[in-house]
Structure 1
Amino acid sequence: MTGKRKKKINISINPEMPQPEVNDTDVRQDNPEKLSCHTSCESLLSYGSGFNNFQGIFNWSVVLLVLTHVHMSLENFIRYGLLFDPVKIISVFLKDPYKWPAVYLIAASVLFALPAVFIERYLRKVRGSESIGLVLQSLNLFLLVTFPAVMVYRMQAITPAGGLLTMFVYIIIALKLFSYYQVNRWYREGTPRPVRGTSRMQADSSTHQSRRNERGQSKQIMYPMNLKVKDLYYFLLAPTLCYQLNFPRQKHCRQGYIIRRFIEMIFLFHLMLGLIQQWIVPNIHKSMKPINEIESTLLTEYILKLAVPNHFIWLIFFYWYFHSCLNCLAELLRFGDRQFYLDWWNADSVLQFWSRWNIPAHRWLDRHIYRPLLHHGYDKWQARMTVFLLSACFYEYLIAIPLKMFRFWMFFAMAAQVPLACLMKKLFGGNFGNILVWISLVLGPPLMVLLYFHDYYIQHHRRDSSWRLFFF
């Protein structure tokens, strides 16, 4: 044969994909630029690369986070031993079961809510009695706020946990009754009010009507047929602060779902108690001086040492209350609206965080405070500042009275949220704003723990053991 046989070369980079056959003569004759291995491109970690798959880095961060906290837990266990004793906790309740003042005060709260039905019935029957009804409603709400405060502050037998739970139950009932009174007044007057961006009439008649029809529930309660004790107490038990005549309801109650949520509630509750006794109390016990006598460097050290366990407890509490407890209660009552929180972890500002992490409270403040203020001519800045001042009063009410210590640190911290959020929004945003939100969540609560519970613990540590401070 006179002609040379051309040798075929098969270049295979990926064995799963068929590769084209290339002749050695073609390689020598083609443009050399086709053989170049470099092109103009950005590094993967550069902003302009468009690369966004960081799942491996996330997994690596989780592994390091777990290992770091396992080391901290082992170090704490080696230094202090096992401080958590569930048997001793149970013995506190069984030792004297007839001296639980907080339980009795909570049980008495249902009696303060009962007059609301009769007040509304009176206003329905007697025309022109709005002024008298307003006085009766204000008196009822005033007693709901002041009675537990006086009892908790004056009774020495109530511990901070019992006082906090008592104040929490009464303030929840007061907020619910405020919504109950206002919504029924809207129906009596027949004037629409804004509810979550739409009018009240539209929300109650069309939206919930269609939702109930989808669930096979065609029976609707109309005003004044809702003025019944059964209707009121369902609302008081429902996981919401905003009243309406017809709540979205589920057809069935899932027993398996309730059991799972109940197991979560029991486990996470004891986990929080264990972390408080194992981590929080020993760190506070290191300092026997009031806050104003501690050096700034030592105070910073205490805050950083409390940051990790306190943040863990805060995250566990969020899941325990807003997911396990509220979903379990909603399933028992077949309550359909389960939006108790939004993606607050993606918030890029403090204001966005407060509007996402506690949806029931946000809806109440938006429906009964913020939008009515806008309706009466106030601008957004004034309405927003009023909402945060009211929230600051609630937080100070819940903390200062059970501890019997009026420091107003929580009040000023909450009141400063609006101007601080506006300043941060101008300077930072996006990922940087989200980082600042997380920094405030990690470092803010430990500072509040030191400011309030530190001084309380110093005043009482000689009379009671550390674990007893958290129970009834």
Structure 2
Amino acid sequence: MLGCDLPMVVLTAVSRLNMFRDPGKICGVAKLSKIQHVISCCLLYNAVILNGCLKYLFMLVNFLQFCFELTGTLLKIKSTNEKSMDKLLHAVLPVFSYAVTLLKMQLLNICFPSLGRVDVDHVITRKMQLIAEAEQLKPVFMKEVDSHFTEFVNSLVAKSAFLDSSSSTSFFPASCSEKELHKAKSLRAPPEHGKIFTARRSLLDELFEVSHIRTIYHMFIALLIVFILSTLLVDFIDEGRLVLGFDLLVFVFGKFPVVFCTWLCMFCATVVIPYGLFFHWAQGYCSSSHRVIRSLFYGMLFTLFQTVGLGLGPTYVAVSYALPPASRFIVILEQVRLVMKAHSFVRENVPRVLSSVKEKSSSVPIPRISQYLYFLFAPTLIYRDNYPRNPMVRWGYVATKFAQVLGSLFYAYYIFVRLCIPQFRNSSQETFNLRGLVLCIFNSILPGVLILFLVFFAFLHCWLNAFAEMMRFADRMFYKDWWNSTSYANYYRTWNVVVHDWLYYYAYRDFLWFFGKKFRAAAMLSVFTVSAAVHEYVLSICFGFFYPVLFCLFMCFGMVFNFILNDRRKGPIWNVIMWTSLFLGQGVIICLYSQEWYARQYCPLENPTFLDYLKPRSWSCHMQM
């Protein structure tokens, strides 16, 4: 039965190979003669069957399938870059040819013994040499493929961005200039368009499909298990029983009803007031005889809501109710998020109304309340009437992401219990000196880096992806490959894309629009100042004291590294320098803020003045035993 089917198998194989006979699709190195070895192998099938060597038949079938896949893959890559494809084929085809020759020799020795045996040992030795050469060529091959695949994707994105930003409906011109391509590659459309949203997955979701990257994730899980086991064993040795309480988590997330009520008030106010103010302003702007006065009046009301309603109100609740740190984080971060979203909604829609009035349009472009509500829950700070949407919600994916957030919380709990609290609990008993400070910083690097990874993974990946999945929000580029950054400029752009987009479009670019493009350095400095001030404001309210460590790191070292480690630094050594400085910065933050927290717990003041809140307590607090 197998022998009867062989002619059909051979004809099918030859017909599949004829698909690639077009000399225009194969470069000069990959002529049709390079594939004739495969066809000649097919002609040896009947000889194999006559001699009963079925195992070589199966080997030929597998080899033929490999030939088809290799040829198709090379031709696909060839269509991207012909010059580099010639180099790749020069490296791959000799190995391919020797493999076919070796297979022929094995078949001739078995099928036609009267012809004499071929020196297979010599061929095998040569084959091993070729395998070693192929292993040496593999990194070059993979680097070339990765480079040209990246160029292909960037070119595709550039064409997409060019089409989206173009008012014409014509196709992308084949002879587009390099200047236009470079402008489109930045994924930033002209000012009237702003950020371009497109359906794409998060980078970690793609990387976790690779088993090597997934193993790193498994290593972090194993480290969590080690933390849990060490905590249980130490508690069992000290207490004589298993201590399964989570007092620290209960404390930091305390007074949750107050947190929920505060958030509900903030959210309802953000839904009603910004949308209502914009709606009434837009409805009467066209027919108003005092447009400037009307705009100033509604603008002042909106600014008053932003500063008092969303600014002072939540801060007063967090301080007056003495909310614990994590509960304060929830309130203050939601406060900042809603302020940024309300600003984006007004900033994106006011120019549309002004443009429609200027063009004397019959209708005023006012978004629906449902679009505004969707924006308030969507994981983005840039308002659009519509976003790319997925067709369905994967509830299993949502549950997995929320479970990973919960696991990250317990991970942070064990990091503080095992690495931070034992180190800083008695720090106020020691004199504040340079030696102790240096030891404290280096001992804090490990927990600081782990907390950094957890914040990134839990919030920027899991939390945002969970909400994006529930909202069917398709653009999942909440971060980029910041870990590959060789400059701090690139790190700031890729660490948190959600916030960076808001700062770029509403702080940096609006600054240049207002003052002119000559003040790029001043615009960058203003963005750094705003970002550093907001970060320090969040930490000051959440910890209950003002200790501008993060602000100084941002404004001093961050600005210096931003200019020294700029985008011209491309070598791997700069990535090492970036990671080293990042590690040291995390150690400084964990060390100084932890020391100040415990100093204020152990050395309280009876009647503190305003200056006492500004003066670091850890510099003067020494408990006498």
TM tier, shorter chain?
A: 0.7 to 0.9
1:111 aligns with 2:251: no
| Counterparts of 2:245 and 2:284, CA distance in 1 | 56
Displacement after TM superposition at 1:241 (Å): 0.7
Task: Pick the aligned partner of 1:347 from 485, 495, 513.
Answer: 485
Structure 1 unmatched ranges of 5 or more: 1-7, 20-36, 38-43, 192-221, 464-472
SS at structure 1 position matched to 2:522? helix
- Note closer, same or farther for the CA distance 1:167–1:93 as it changes in structure 2 (3 Å cut): closer
Q: Given the two structures, how large is their TM-score scaled by the length of structure 1?
A: 0.72
1:163 aligns with 2:328: yes
Match of 1:277 in 2: 417
Contact 2:252 2:327 in 1 (8 A): no
Displacement after TM superposition at 1:308 (Å): 1.0
Q: Which amino acid aligns with 1:375?
A: W
- Note closer, same or farther for the CA distance 1:312–1:426 as it changes in structure 2 (3 Å cut): closer
Match of 2:258 in 1: 101
1:15 aligns with 2:15: no
SS at structure 2 position matched to 1:239? coil
Displacement after TM superposition at 1:86 (Å): 4.7
Give 1:117-196 correspondences, 5 Å limit: 117-127=275-285, 128=291, 129-143=294-308, 144-156=310-322, 158-190=323-355
Structure 2 unmatched ranges of 5 or more: 1-116, 130-135, 144-211, 237-241, 286-290, 357-362, 605-625
| Counterparts of 1:70 and 1:385, CA distance in 2 | 40
- Note closer, same or farther for the CA distance 1:266–1:125 as it changes in structure 2 (3 Å cut): same
Q: Given the two structures, how large is their TM-score scaled by the length of structure 2?
A: 0.55
Q: Deviations over 1:96-123 (max 9, x none)?
A: 97x7433322222113202111101111
Contact 1:149 1:401 in 2 (8 A): yes
Contact 1:84 1:278 in 2 (8 A): no
Q: Deviations over 1:20-40 (max 9, x none)?
A: xxxxxxxxxxxxxxxxx9xxx
Contact 1:121 1:227 in 2 (8 A): no
Displacement after TM superposition at 1:389 (Å): 0.5
Match of 2:462 in 1: 324
| Equivalent residue pairs, number | 389
| Counterparts of 2:513 and 2:488, CA distance in 1 | 25
- Note closer, same or farther for the CA distance 1:13–1:415 as it changes in structure 2 (3 Å cut): farther
Q: Deviations over 1:192-220 (max 9, x none)?
A: xxxxxxxxxxxxxxxxxxxxxxxxxxxxx
Match of 1:33 in 2: none
Match of 2:499 in 1: 361
Contact 2:444 2:587 in 1 (8 A): yes
Q: Deviations over 1:380-417 (max 9, x none)?
A: 21111111100011101100112221122222211122
Contact 1:84 1:274 in 2 (8 A): no
Displacement after TM superposition at 1:93 (Å): 9.9
Q: Deviations over 1:349-375 (max 9, x none)?
A: 112101101011011011111112222
Contact 1:384 1:418 in 2 (8 A): no
Match of 2:601 in 1: 460
| Counterparts of 1:184 and 1:262, CA distance in 2 | 34
Deviates more, 1:374-383 or 1:337-346: 374-383
Contact 2:490 2:567 in 1 (8 A): no
Displacement after TM superposition at 1:10 (Å): 5.7
SS at structure 2 position matched to 1:15? helix
Contact 2:493 2:500 in 1 (8 A): yes
Contact 1:374 1:383 in 2 (8 A): yes
Contact 1:280 1:310 in 2 (8 A): no
Give 1:21-420 correspondences, 5 Å limit: 81=235, 85-86=244-245, 88=247, 100-113=257-270, 114-127=272-285, 128=291, 129-143=294-308, 144-156=310-322, 158-190=323-355, 224-228=365-369, 230-289=370-429, 293-376=431-514, 377-378=516-517, 379-416=519-556, 417-420=558-561
| Counterparts of 2:579 and 2:303, CA distance in 1 | 39
Displacement after TM superposition at 1:77 (Å): 5.1
Q: Which amino acid aligns with 2:468?
A: A
Contact 2:252 2:324 in 1 (8 A): no
Q: Which has the higher helix share?
A: 2
Q: Highest CA radius of gyration, 1 or 2?
A: 2
Contact 1:176 1:236 in 2 (8 A): yes
Match of 1:30 in 2: none
Match of 1:423 in 2: 564
Displacement after TM superposition at 1:458 (Å): 2.8
Displacement after TM superposition at 1:234 (Å): 1.6
Match of 1:218 in 2: none
SS at structure 1 position matched to 2:444? helix
Contact 1:307 1:443 in 2 (8 A): yes
| Counterparts of 1:75 and 1:121, CA distance in 2 | 58
- Note closer, same or farther for the CA distance 1:223–1:271 as it changes in structure 2 (3 Å cut): farther
Contact 1:175 1:241 in 2 (8 A): yes
Bigger RCO of structures 1 and 2 (CA < 8 A, at least 6 apart): 1
- Note closer, same or farther for the CA distance 1:71–1:251 as it changes in structure 2 (3 Å cut): closer
| Counterparts of 1:258 and 1:70, CA distance in 2 | 22
Q: Deviations over 1:311-333 (max 9, x none)?
A: 11210221111111111101111
